[in-house]
Amino acid sequence: MTDSIYLALDFPDWNEAYEFIHTNHLHGVPVKVGMELFYKEGLAVIEKLKENNHKIFLDLKLHDIPTTVRKAMTVLSSLEVDMINVHALGGSEMILRAKEGLEKGNTKLIAVTVLTSMEQSVLSEELKIQDSLMDTVVQLSDLAKRSGADGVVCSVHEVEKIKQICGKEFLTVTPGIRLLNTDMNDQKRIATPSYARQTGSDFLVIGRSITASNNPRKAYEQAVREWEETTCNLTVN
């Protein structure tokens, strides 16, 4: 097991999530809880996972006016999860207030830059953002850092540049991970666990490459093996 790989628990309810963990002997692995499971089960799902010794990334991607986000974070901070996130597009004031809401605990604040399901054409043609996807991600990371975030969610391909601008200690959490020979699904900016490690990613989020595999336990072990057997080539300080 490694503390660096978060399994995305994208299940409709606790029974299915627990059944998956139990059947595949994934007790105690770090997990990411997203909107689907959290909206269904509420705060109780976090308590259950904590009782079972899982590290938790609560992926609710808050994006609202600064005061609302601060108050929501104050409520969520009592859960004492390891990481929680907001959208960097909410702006500096919102990120600062989110951090304020978390002030009393040790929960790390992570800002989502550009979702890994998005590609350049969505940015330029639909959202009319003129900058390249890479520049947009790096600028949002810089904004997040200056506003007090501890790290960002980005794709593996952006990690190196983010670390150059924001420093090695600024955390990068990377979804869009695919094991060799698995489906891309709706993700666009994808990479393998090994490539993620090489480029300096701090944490991986892996969902369907494991959950939709014929042998999830084996897929999880493969991801851990790839991660642990690869050395990081990042050269920034």
- Tell me the closest approach of the beta carbon of residue 170 to ligand C5P, in angstroms: 16
Which of 2, 3, 5, 17 has its CA nearest to residue 211?
17
Residues forming contacts to ligand C5P in the complex (CB under 6 A) are: 8, 10, 34, 59, 112, 115-116, 153, 175-177, 185, 187, 205-209
Choice between 101 and 176, CB closer to ligand C5P: 176
- Catalytic residue, candidates 55, 61, 161, 188: 61
In angstroms, what is the minimal distance from the CB of 227 to ligand C5P? 15
Q: How many residues in the chain?
A: 237
Could you tell me the smallest distance in angstroms from the CB atom of residue 117 to ligand C5P?
A: 6
Q: Give residue number: closest CB to ligand C5P.
A: 207
| Minimum gap (Å) between residue 99 Cβ and ligand C5P | 19
Nearer to ligand C5P, 103 or 186 (CB): 186
Q: Which is nearer to ligand C5P, 221 or 231 (CB)?
A: 221
Q: Pull the structure tokens for residue 93.
A: 């004031």
CB atoms within 10 A of CB 31: 22
Count of C-beta atoms within a 10 Å radius of residue 128 = 7
Q: Which is nearer to ligand C5P, 103 or 135 (CB)?
A: 135
- Would residue 55 show up in a list of annotated catalytic residues for this protein? no
Minimum distance between the CB of residue 52 and ligand C5P, rounded to whole angstroms?
20
For ligand C5P, the closer of residues 85 and 198 by Cβ is 85
Whose CA is closest to 210, among 188, 185, 173? 185
Q: Give catalytic residue positions.
A: 61
